[in-house]
A and B are shown apart, each in its own frame.
Chain A
Amino acid sequence: SQTIHQWPATLVQPVGSPLSLECTVEGTSNPNLYWYRQAAGRGLQLLFYSVGIGQISSEVPQNLSASRPQDRQFILSSKKLLLSDSGFYLCAWSGDRQGPGELFFGEGSRLTVL
């Protein structure tokens, strides 16, 4: 069966510090991968999605970046965090064998920027 893991689960970072969130998927190959962010009490905002290694599409201009160094690994990064980067970050995957709107989400990473 397929599983998705992301870490760390929680982190508190000072403004201006770097960020690295990692996400890995197991049990499937060539998944589509996504990074979403959810601010407190808000809906999910799509940040990046990837259809293959090295292929990243950015949906929202910001100081965040994403990379996909391996087929089932997706990394969200920042060189200098802003207060507005605080939120709940969710990695998700989808595949050809699933329905057209079916996403599978990880456990989430809660980031607090102070």
Chain B
Amino acid sequence: LAKTTQPISMDSYEGQEVNITCSHNNIATNDYITWYQQFPSQGPRFIIQGYKTKVTNEVASLFIPADRKSSTLSLPRVSLSDTAVYYCLVGENTDKLIFGTGTRLQVFP
């Protein structure tokens, strides 16, 4: 299973764009990259998923370079409610998905 590495924490201010990068040097050919968001005392919530290039939805964008050894979650114009822990996961399916400690994003007014 591919291991992921992401920053422990990040700070931002309301209205700014936040980019969280995750490295996964050992990603396998069939692996997808998935990002989750978790608020305190709640279960993680799926944000976005991709295999290569760029994926965008109403919440975020996911940028994946050609070698797929890293990925960047981009949150446009963050608000205070985006303060949460963000997890990057890599895997072929939902079996045995490994959640690391994630990136704790703090948004300030």
A residues at B contact (CB < 8 Å): 32, 34, 36, 42-46, 49, 51, 59, 88, 90, 92, 94, 98-108, 110
Tell me whether A107 and B43 are in contact (CB under 8 A): yes
Residues 68-93 of chain B, each 1 if its beta carbon lies under 8 Å from chain A, else 0: 00000000000000000001010111
Interface SS, B side: loop
> With contacts A99-B49, A101-B91, A102-B49 known, is A42 near B43, CB below 8 A?
no
Tell me whether A103 and B96 are in contact (CB under 8 A): no
> With contacts A43-B87, A43-B101 known, is A100 near B94, CB below 8 A?
yes
Interface size on B, residues (CB 8 A): 25
Q: Who on chain B is nearest to A32 by CB?
A: B94
Interface SS, A side: strand
Tell me whether B97 and A101 are in contact (CB under 8 A): yes
Closest 7 CB pairs of A and B: A105-B43, A101-B34, A44-B99, A94-B94, A43-B101, A100-B93, A43-B99
Chain B contacts with A in 30-51, Cβ cutoff 8 A: 32-34, 36, 41-46, 49
Tell me whether A103 and B41 are in contact (CB under 8 A): no
